[in-house]
Amino acid sequence: MNIAALQPYHEWFLLLHVLAAIAGLGANVTYVFWLAWAERDQAYFDIAVRGVHRLDKVLTNPAYAMVLLTGVLLILAEETWPFDQSWLVAGILLYFLSGAISFAVFVPALRTQLVEAERSPAGPAYQAAARRARFMAWAGIVIVVVVVWLMVMKPGG
pLDDT in tens, 113-127: 888 888 887 889 988
User: What predicted TM-score, i.e. pTM, was given to this entire model?
Assistant: 0.85
Question: Is 80's pLDDT higher than 80?
Answer: no
The predicted model gives 74-94 an average pLDDT of: 87
Nearest to 79, CA basis, from 3, 16, 132:
3
CA distance 115 to 29: 24
Contact present, 34 and 134 (Cβ < 8 Å):
no
Average pLDDT of the residues of the chain:
89
With cut-offs at 50, 70 and 90, classify the pLDDT of residue 2.
low
Question: 73-77, 92-96, 99-103, 137-141 — which one is most confidently predicted on average?
Answer: 92-96
Share of the chain above pLDDT 70, in %: 98
